[in-house]
Amino acid sequence: MLGLVHQVLSGLAIGSIYACVALAVVMIYQATHLVNFAQGEMATFSTYIAWALIEAGVPYWAAFFLTVGFSFLMGMAIERLLIRRFDKAPVLAVVIVFIGMLVIFNSLTGWLFSYTIKSFASPFPEKFALGNGYMSPHELGSVGVTLAVLAVVYAFFRFTPLGLAMRAAAQNPVSARLVGIRVGYMLAIGWGLAAAIGAVAGMMAAPIVYLDPNMMSGVLLYGFAGALLGGIDNPWGAAMGGFIVGVLENIAGAYLVGEEIKLSVALAIIIGVLVAKPSGLFGRVLVTRV
Amino acid sequence: MIDVQAASSPVPVVNPDSPALRFGAIAVGVACVVGLPFLVSSYHTAQFSQVVIYAIALLGLNLLTGYNGQISLGHGAFFAIGGYATAILTVKLGIGYGPAIVIGGILCFVAGFAFGLPALRLGGLYLALATFALALATPQLLKFKAFDDWTGGVQGLLLKKPQAPLHLPLTRDQWLYFLCVFCAGLLFWAATNLINSRIGRAMIAIRDHPIAAEAMGIDTALYKTTTFGVSAAYTGIAGGLASLVVGFVSPDSFDLFLSLSLVVGIVVGGLASIWGVVVGALFIEFVPNYADSISDVLGENAKALPWAIYGILLILLMYAAPTGAAGTARSLARGIAHLRRGSTNVSLDRRATGGDQTG
């Protein structure tokens, strides 16, 4: 029983990372109805930036926020300079552009920082006053960071004029434009937010999975699974989905299929959710008019 | 659903009003294909075998994505099943490579049909997501310990390249090349017939308007799952051939990049085009190599850059020609037809081209 509790809690910890990735995926999906397959690679790149800053002697939390800021600008720049040009292209062409970005970021990270596996510092202390033995300080810390991210994102969308404008632009671009919202910029900010949230996920994941250019591919898959499970049009549902997927993955890894093929758990969840409940647990059911 | 360009019936490759030209082109093409392995080194022969293999796999994927409108980012998984089936059957069970490839194809048909069932409920991007997950999970599944006795685990399996039968004066690589070309010929012929038949029209109708297709009495579910199966079988046969040509299968040769390359291939070649896949196959076999040589110019430590250059090329290509080689060729042909008709009806022509661009 204690073992199960332990698995659930560390599942919640890893799930917090998936929740961030899922949130990042949903950010872009809500605004553009596209799923960014390069999200994981972008997050890895950001994490390497943080690593380089820390190596250069910048204190951890300064590096953390610098990286988040940098990632935000990077995401915006990608939308403004690249994705915007494809807003009328067929879906598959856009998918190819994402694949191109995935490949570019992957090899750029490999080129700049080499493919050797690096360790990444955790900002949280080794021992913890509140430590209860069930969760390591880093696990507890990443859950905390994710909850903070969720709170910030919620406050942003709920209480700021910019957040309101972004929701309007996502829900009804035409009317939003009529009342003077610059829809294009809102999309760019959505991309920036997604990249920033992805960077947080990367920095929380790196101490666990170690830093290498491919570290986020599995995490991204779980993020997708979480987003689908929670409902891809609902940010809070997606974050919840991320936590649930983390717990499921850990329990399945420990008791059902073993550590080696845990990725297939994500595959099974994705297909299962899409078949049984395509709108996800908390998503809106879409009705198509014939 | 995906937004495939409207051209549904295949456009003739060569202008049909000059049969001599057409015959000449075909003769030159056949001569090139047959003569090729005698003119280039065995390394290049193997490369061209790989092109033919990719063409088969791309044709399979194009049947699914181009003609039936189902996006798959995970066809590397079927490539892997075909490859491993051929390897296991020849190495572990001592079956001849010919039957092994066929059995691999049948296995892939079954696997594709099975995967096509959940895929029925998924449209567009969701299917892309599910198949993306399949592509990511494939190497891990192949490394699974319980299958080690059969798959060779992380080390993979070594195959012996078959010798030419009947004492034909061919090297192993040349024989494999002709085997690939033979299979490709058969499969291209079958695919052309399939597309031009009642079944092919039903597939296209389902892509363009599933509800109307259903209303006309087409069994949408059956057609979609069967198309998935056929598509997987094509890709599986390609995987089987690839395992022979490379002489080796391992989990890491069927990674995400393989699946992504296949999608890149059909989009570069052009969706819903039988011959476009050849362009796509040439692209995914050779362009990474050229990107390699470009990055060599940039210096020693640019080892990882070829893929970045490849990515940039991809994005530029999608910007310049989002409909791929076949789509671009189609619009060029239309442009030439316009010029031929003369400039008497300029305003009408302009309206027509404007309509084309928004369509």
Question: A260 and B137 in contact (C-beta within 8 Å)?
Answer: no
Question: A192 and A46 in contact (C-beta within 8 Å)?
Answer: no
pTM over 0.90: no
This model of the complex carries an ipTM of 0.81
**Cβ distance of B304 and A263 shorter than 8 Å:** no
The average pLDDT across B132-153 equals 79
- What's the rounded Cα separation, in Å, for the pair A237 and A231? 6
Question: Which candidate in A221, A228, A267 is best for mutational testing of the B interface (most B CBs within 10 A)?
Answer: A267
A89 → closest Cβ in B129, B143, B322: B322
B314 → closest Cβ in A90, A99, A271: A99
pLDDT for the residue B229? 93
Distances (CA, A) of A94 to A32, A38, A90, B199, B300: 11, 12, 7, 29, 33
B231-278 residue pLDDT tens: 999 999 999 999 988 888 888 888 888 888 898 888 888 888 888 899
In a domain, A1, yes or no: no
Question: Which candidate in A48, A83, A103, A217 is best for mutational testing of the B interface (most B CBs within 10 A)?
Answer: A103
pLDDT for the residue B227? 92
Structure tokens at B280: 């796509």
Chain A residue whose CA is closest to B322 = A93
In a domain, A177, yes or no: yes
* Residue B351 confidence (pLDDT) above 90: no
Question: Which candidate in B120, B122, B132 is best for mutational testing of the A interface (most A CBs within 10 A)?
Answer: B132
Per CB-CB distance under 8 Å, the chain B contacts of A275 are 118, 121-122
B196-229 residue pLDDT tens: 999 999 999 988 888 898 898 888 889 999 999 9
Distances (CA, A) of B176 to A132, B45, B106: 63, 9, 21
Size of interface A-B (CB pairs under 8 A): 151
Per CB-CB distance under 8 Å, the chain A contacts of B151 are none
In a domain, A170, yes or no: yes
* Mean of pLDDT over chain A: 85
State percent of chain A over pLDDT 70: 93
Q: Domain residue spans in chain B?
A: 25-281, 326-359
User: What count of other Cβ atoms lies within 10 Å of the Cβ of residue B80?
Assistant: 29
The average pLDDT across A177-202 equals 91
In a domain, A286, yes or no: no
Question: A169 and A176 in contact (C-beta within 8 Å)?
Answer: yes
- What's the rounded Cα separation, in Å, for the pair A244 and A269? 11
Question: Which candidate in A26, A36, A79, A95 is best for mutational testing of the B interface (most B CBs within 10 A)?
Answer: A95
B90-135 residue pLDDT tens: 888 878 888 889 999 999 999 999 888 887 877 667 788 888 888 8
pLDDT for the residue A45? 94
The average pLDDT across B63-84 equals 90
**Cβ distance of A267 and B137 shorter than 8 Å:** yes
Structure tokens at B65: 């994505």
H/E element holding A166? helix A161-171
* Mean of pLDDT over chain B: 81
Range of the domain at A147: 13-216
pLDDT for the residue B352? 43
Q: How far is A129 from chain B (nearest CA, A)?
A: 39
In the block, which residue shows the tokens 């059909």? B266
Residue B157's SS3 state is strand
In a domain, A155, yes or no: yes
pLDDT for the residue B296? 65
A238-255 residue pLDDT tens: 899 999 989 888 888 777
- What's the rounded Cα separation, in Å, for the pair B24 and A193? 58
**Cβ distance of B121 and A102 shorter than 8 Å:** no
- Which DSSP string corresponds to B94-121? ---HHHHHHHHHHHHHHHHHHHHHHHTT
- Which DSSP string corresponds to A97-159? HHHHHHHHHHHHHHHHH-SS-B----SS-SS-TT--SSS-HHHHHHHHHHHHHHHHHHHHHHH
A116-143 residue pLDDT tens: 888 887 877 766 555 566 677 888 888 8
A96 → closest Cβ in B118, B126, B263: B263
Fold of B25-281: ABC transporter involved in vitamin B12 uptake, BtuC (1.10.3470)
The average pLDDT across A213-218 equals 84
Chain A residue whose CA is closest to B135 = A267
What's the longest Cα–Cα distance across chain B? 73
A162 touches chain B (CB under 8 A): no
pLDDT for the residue B236? 93
Q: Residues 54..113 of A with a Cβ closer than 8 Å to B: which?
A: 82, 85-86, 89-93, 95-97, 99-104, 106-108, 110-111
* Residue B153 confidence (pLDDT) above 80: no
**Cβ distance of B126 and A275 shorter than 8 Å:** no
B279-338 residue pLDDT tens: 999 988 888 777 777 766 665 555 567 778 888 888 888 888 878 888 888 888 888 888
The average pLDDT across A216-241 equals 86
**Cβ distance of A111 and B144 shorter than 8 Å:** no
pLDDT for the residue B4? 46
